[in-house]
A and B are shown apart, each in its own frame.
Chain A
Amino acid sequence: MFKRLFEALRPGVKIRIYGDPRIGVQIAIRAIGGDYPDVASSGAEDVPWPTLIRAGKVLDLTPYLQGPNWEGDARWIDTFLPGALDPWRVDGRIGGLPCAYASWTVWYNRAMFRAHGWSEPRTWDQFFALCARIKAAGIAPLSMPGTAWYYENTIMTAACYNLVGAAGWQAINELKPGTRLDPRYIRAAAVEQRVMQECAMRGWQGETHTGAERVFLQGRAAMTISGSWLVNEMAGKIPDDFELGAMNFPVFPDGVGDPSAIESGPDSFFVFATGDAVRERQAIDFLRFLTSRARAAAFVREINSPSAIRGVPLSAYSPRMQETARIIARAGDAYAMPQIMMLPPEIRQVMTNVSEQLMAGRITPLDFARRLEDTAALVRAHQVNPARVDDRHPLAGALLLAGVAATWLWLFRGWMGRRGRARHGLPSTDESHFGRLRTPMGLGFVGPAFLLYVVFVLAPGLAAFELAFTRWNGIAPRAWVGAFNFRWLLFESDAFWFALKNNLFLMVVPSLFVVPFALLCATLIHRGVRGGGFFRVVFLFPNMLGGIAAILLWLNVYQPHGGLANAFLVDLGRLLHWRRLAACDGFPWLSTDHLYMALIPIYIWMACGFNLILYLAAMEGIDPQLYEAAELDGAPVWRQFFVITLPLIREVITISVVFLVIGGLNAFDLIWLLTAQDPSPVSNTLGTLLVISMFRNFEIGRAAAIAVVLFVLVFAASAVVMRALKREAIEA
């Protein structure tokens, strides 16, 4: 709509507009690929905008903002709401221009409030008192999404801004020393903890943000915290008779921040420095057009969501948005979430992690503040000296290094020892050969395959080793940093060790379940059961299906409200009159705490069939006379299994364990999709950490270093097992 209008006003300018729910990732990939769009807009969490702004890849809009607006009756900069331009001020430049505007509000069920005689709380004390009354009425006070931690973080942000004021809030975001040990910061953290512990609805940990909104709109919770986009996002899903109320966050009686200030979340536009002055000028002209009063009002009408432009009439807003519009119009200032998102990745990772622990009540607000203060100190130290490595995991790092070194040494010695002995493996020149491979035929037959293999597998694989020794963000020139990336990962990075621990879990635990279970089933089928062939075919299918469809299937099985797993448990509980089972509704299977446990059923479902077929094939290779002899001797079935079956198929079991172990090291899809492509730092595996380092943080050297570590581990694991197998074969 806007596009056509603008093209009519500015003949010769063609606009291509493109939108996608994962637009952020796509912009990041285009930016890292050096293929910049002219103008882009995205949520702050996916694209490292500060990096791009600092590197000059995103235009500084300050000079243009001093110029006239589209109508030509004011300076452009003055047409924006107060505080709306602050989020993207980086080193004195303004990189992002807000158009769509959002404010975080506490949405409440007005009819429910009226029926019970509840009123809007103004202070946090009133808020907690209200929650107690709502709970006493048998209703959940607050529906929250645990899978998007920044929804919960808005509580702390609001409390903190109110306590420390605008200047204090800025100091916190600039990571000034001591700001996080300020008692007011700790008090704000305590508010978040108390809200989540006392007021949040059961099962919030596994709820997605639309899920939390739906629960609220179904009347199962009295309030929810969300942005002003709720109305747009839930279009068609809000019951017609639902009376939606909106209020700003509560404040403290002793708060110094402007009580009318809103917590804003602007969706900003960024103009890329393409080096083409004409295109850049047209891009800015287009943004000026988009932020004109007429366009802003039209935008509000169309999208049913606020605009960052002053003077949009209240009549442009739909009835459901009136209250939000008034809250925004009244606001004397705005403080924004993106400032949190703009913090360096290290502190964001720690923040995600400690926020989860804070909300779960595992750490005190003071511990929370200490961890963040320490991390902020670390980030400051890195800013001064990027080559610095803080030894946070000296023992674990040293152990890993020693372990890998010892393994490789052992392999190397074995290899040297074997060289002297007779060669085995592929026969060299014996009667199995048809003849010599002459060069033309060699080139013709092997050449194409080998060329492809070298170009797309071997060469990039080798190049990863070189990249791993550099620091590179895809924009600035590459810098050789020696072993820094490895030292940083092994000795300093918490994220790396979380990921490695998760990989270890996936290497060991699924095997413990899958192997015995598959062995049991294989034995049962082997002993002869009607429909054995049918069972084989059925059990193997999940393995063939595998991948994305299977994972998404499980994602929906694990839906907290109404997913197959919980629905089944609830019905079973009702049937057996077992109250604890019946209360399973809302159990957050995929929350950070339970995610890895919830993977075990998935593994059994997906991997058992494959292993079962392997074992069965091996069992069928065993001479049946052995069993007949044992039967005559009167050996019970379980003894036959341990004395005959198990020793004879040990090799196949070892192979299947290798598959599982390597699969555990490589795990990516499972975690990536079950966490909606946004795993918390403690849920990462090395695979997902690699992708995040590359596309979210633009740490390409670091991503390559993770890949190299992964390779070293996979290779060592498979080589060790193959060696062990060979040795057995020789000894046997």
Chain B
Amino acid sequence: MRSPPARISRALIFAALAGYALWVVFPMIWVAYSSLKGDRDIFNRTFAVPSLGALHFENYRNAWHEAHFRDYFFHSVLITGASVALIVALGAMAAYALARFYHPLGRAVFWLFLAGLMLPAQLAIVPLFFELRGMGLLNSRVGLILVYTANGLPFAIFILAGFFRSLPRALYEAAVIDGCGEFTAFWRVLLPLARPGLVTVAIFEFIGIWKEYFYAYMLLGGDTADRARTLPLGLANLSVASLFRSDYGMLFAGIVLVTVPILIVYVVLQRHIVKGVAAGALKG
């Protein structure tokens, strides 16, 4: 049985945190319901909830078709999916080899990868632009996928090396005694055990790449990038365009469209994500 003052202070703490939570959530809810309002009402009657009879679903229709969000969405799914898959696959192999096998150069290579965690994206961008131009990969999906993959590898290797290092040695030995080759041992025995690490890497890379803007802006700027432009880029263009056409309903619908996939991933995998952030901190 708690004393009344303690109960009051508990209630106060709860109220304070709830207030903060409301402040965090309300702007998002506001955007979500405003995206169903008419263009005029969004800023003229700021708090008003759209009347159920007059929901402006055409904001979404316009964003999806007219503002080409259908294409952007498809490109984003493709580019993010391919990049994440490549990062996880290549990162796992490299992390495994570097963490559990000795090579005179292994340490140096490992540290080179880790140095990538500290390189600002801006450092490489200027030469990268011309390099991709030379390869004919500017304004293309493949170019962006390769750039995202290369930039995601340091984080993947950093996390996965930790996971592989924690696996017992006996497993590998048993696999080798059973006649497994190096690759089979990795693929059949060790990789499945590192699954939590793989999921962590995949989640964080997905979230990072899905909302990536800087590289996309710099490398997909040309008008031939029609077939590659991603959602963040489309959304930013829409935001600038709304300065000229002032179609805020469409812009709000666009913000919601970009948010929903992250929201789904987050809600489904929240435990994993919260744990991942916490674990990353303790290791870092």
A residues in contact (CB < 8 Å) with B? 18, 20-23, 25-26, 29-30, 32-35, 37, 208-211, 214, 233, 237, 426, 428-429, 431-437, 441-442, 444-446, 448-450, 452-453, 455-461, 463-464, 467, 521, 524-525, 527, 529-531, 535-542, 544-549, 552-557, 559, 561-564, 567, 571, 605, 609-610, 613-614, 616-618, 621, 652, 655-656, 662, 665-666, 668-669, 673, 676-677, 686-687, 690-691, 694-695, 700, 703-704, 706-708, 710-711, 714-715, 718
Contact = CB atoms under 8 A, between A and B. Distances in A.
B274 interface: yes
B236 interface: yes
A21 B235 contact: no
B102 A540 contact: no
Contacts of A535: 17, 21
B241 interface: yes
B107 to A, nearest CB: 6
B4 to A, nearest CB: 17
B91 interface: yes
Interface string B240-259: 11011110100110010011
B183 to A, nearest CB: 8
Nearest to B156: A449
Given A449-B90, A557-B27, A704-B127, A22 B109 contact: no
Contact of B102 (A436, A458, A605, A704): A436
Nearest to B237: A22
Given A460-B127, A547-B211, A452 B146 contact: yes
Interface string B108-143: 011111001011111111111101010000100000
Interface of B: 10, 13-14, 16-17, 20-21, 23-28, 30-31, 42-47, 90-91, 93-94, 96-98, 100-103, 106-107, 109-113, 116, 118-129, 131, 133, 138, 146-147, 149-151, 153-154, 157, 165, 169, 172-173, 182-183, 186, 207, 211-214, 217-218, 221-224, 232, 235-237, 239-241, 243-246, 248, 251-252, 255, 258-259, 262-263, 266, 270, 273-274, 277-279, 281-282, 284
Contact of B222 (A35, A463, A552): A35
A537 B217 CA distance: 31
A446 B217 CA distance: 30
A436 B17 contact: no
16 contacts: A22-B237, A25-B221, A33-B138, A208-B243, A428-B102, A433-B100, A437-B101, A445-B97, A446-B98, A530-B10, A535-B17, A545-B259, A652-B282, A666-B120, A668-B214, A690-B122
A459 B20 CA distance: 45
Q: Which 7 A-B pairs have the closest CB atoms?
A: A562-B43, A617-B278, A547-B211, A437-B101, A456-B150, A567-B46, A463-B127
A601 B21 CA distance: 14
A618 to B, nearest CB: 7
Given A21-B244, A537-B270, A437 B106 contact: yes
Given A433-B102, A445-B93, A549-B235, A614 B278 contact: yes
A555 B183 CA distance: 51
A460 B274 CA distance: 34
Describe B's contact surface by its main secondary structure: helix
Contact of B109 (A446, A555, A556): A446
Contact of B120 (A22, A542, A704, A710): A710
A567 B222 contact: no
Contact of B24 (A434, A538, A557): A538
B153 A453 contact: yes
Given A449-B93, A617-B282, A210 B244 contact: yes
B127 A464 contact: yes
Contacts of A609: 24
Contacts of A711: 119-120, 122-123
Contact of A456 (B14, B151, B224): B151
Given A548-B213, A561-B43, A564-B27, A33 B237 contact: no
Contact of A30 (B17, B96, B126, B222): B222
A655 B277 CA distance: 13
Contact of A457 (B23, B110, B124, B129): B124
Contact of A541 (B24, B169, B237): B24
Nearest to A601: B23
A475 B35 CA distance: 45
Contacts of A18: 223
Contacts of A35: 222, 224
Contacts of B214: 668-669, 687
B263 to A, nearest CB: 8
A210 B246 contact: yes
Given A210-B243, A445-B97, A549 B211 contact: yes
B17 A524 contact: yes
Contacts of B109: 446, 450
Nearest to B266: A544
Contact of A613 (B42, B173, B277): B277
Contacts of B43: 559, 561-563
Given A33-B222, A687-B122, A433 B213 contact: no
Contacts of A605: 23-24, 27
Given A437-B106, A457-B116, A464 B123 contact: yes
A211 B44 CA distance: 12
A281 to B, nearest CB: 23
Contacts of B245: 210, 233
Contacts of B212: 547
Given A432-B100, A668-B214, A711-B120, A521 B235 contact: no
Given A536-B274, A563-B43, A652 B222 contact: no
A614 B277 contact: yes
Contacts of A554: 27
Contact of B246 (A29, A237, A652): A237
A517 B259 CA distance: 26
Given A209-B243, A673-B236, A707 B97 contact: no
Contact of A26 (B42, B218, B221): B221
A707 B240 contact: no
A555 B243 CA distance: 12
Most buried by A among B103, B138, B146, B151: B103
Given A33-B138, A548-B232, 9 more contacts: A21-B243, A29-B222, A210-B246, A453-B112, A453-B116, A455-B146, A546-B211, A613-B277, A691-B217
B278 A549 contact: no
A507 B245 CA distance: 36
B242 to A, nearest CB: 8
A26 B24 contact: no
A549 B239 CA distance: 10
B160 to A, nearest CB: 11
B108 to A, nearest CB: 11
A711 B248 CA distance: 38
A707 B122 CA distance: 6
A446 B94 contact: yes
Contacts of A700: 126
A404 B269 CA distance: 43
A322 B212 CA distance: 47
B122 A441 contact: no
Contacts of B23: 605
B182 A441 contact: yes
A617 B270 contact: no
Given A434-B172, A677-B240, A548 B258 contact: yes
A436 B21 contact: no
Contact of B266 (A21, A541, A662, A665): A541
Contacts of B222: 26, 29-30, 33, 35
Contacts of B263: 541, 545
Given A452-B150, A458-B112, A617-B282, A20 B223 contact: yes
